[in-house]
Every structure is written in C-alpha cells, then in structure tokens.
Copies of this chain bind each other. A is one copy, B any other.
C-alpha cells in the first residue's frame, strides 16, 4: 500500500470547522481528494466522482474545489496550457516540475531559491505575498552522453 501523502488531510473535519454542511457529493469529492496521489483537474475529479455516485455534477465539483481553496484546504495550480489542477494543502510548501510529455508533476523544494526570491523582492521594495515557480521539462535521455536525438 502506498500513502499518497505524508499527511492525510481530514477534509470533513476542516469543513465542519467552518460550519459547512457535509453533503453526499462533498463526501465523495473529499474522499477522492484524500487519496489522490496526483494533481487532478476538476474534470478528472468529476470523472472519479461519477464512478462512486453518478448523480454528482461538474458544477458541484467546481464549487467544492473553490470552497476548499477558500478555507485553505487545497491549493490550485494553473500550469501552462491546461485547466487548474489541485492538491491537498497539508504538505509543506513546494514548487513543481511538470513533465511536458506526460503531464506528471514532481514536487521539489529549495530553501535557497526561496531565500533568493525574498532577497530580490526586498531589493525591489516589495513583500512577496505568494509566488509561482514551475519548471517545465522532459525526462533526460539516460545512457549515452548528451546528444541530440
């Protein structure tokens, strides 16, 4: 068995805390998010949800994602091109490397880069509110030396 995330988020608790109803559609969506190891978009979440309860609508998925984002339970990422993709907010801060061939997302973190960002902003007279660092790349061809091909 593989743990999708180090910190399994208890979304229902988070929702209750904000005085929001735990409805059937929300339960389904929340369960999907809980064990999503990837970074699905709204449509993908919708598809997974329909398999569990065919009555769920795409609007509800969008509404739920917005709700979860507002209470800070998930993060929304608008990677180049595609629709927004989501991930639980539990983990600690990280940036993303997107495989431009597969769409796979790899998380990474660099304290040094963060420091440099702060430094740059400071020098420009700004306070960073949030930032976005995305690397778009492709898997390096293993084996022979660096060659085009």
Contacts and interface: CB of A to CB of B under 8 A. Distances in A.
A73 B34 CA distance: 44
Nearest to A126: B137
Contact of A135 (B100, B131, B139, B148): B131
Interface stretch (A21-29, A35-43, A104-112): A104-112
Nearest to A112: B116
A128 interface: yes
Contacts of A146: 122, 125
B133 A121 contact: no
Interface string A52-68: 00000000000000000
Contacts of A140: 122, 125-127
Most B CB contacts (10 A, CB to CB) among A80, A113, A134, A146 go to: A113
How many copies, total? 2
Contacts of A134: 131-133
A78 interface: yes
A117 interface: yes
Given A108-B120, A121-B97, A124-B106, A133 B132 contact: yes
A138 interface: yes
B128 A131 contact: no
Contacts of A148: 125
Contacts of A120: 97, 108, 110, 135
A29 to B, nearest CB: 24
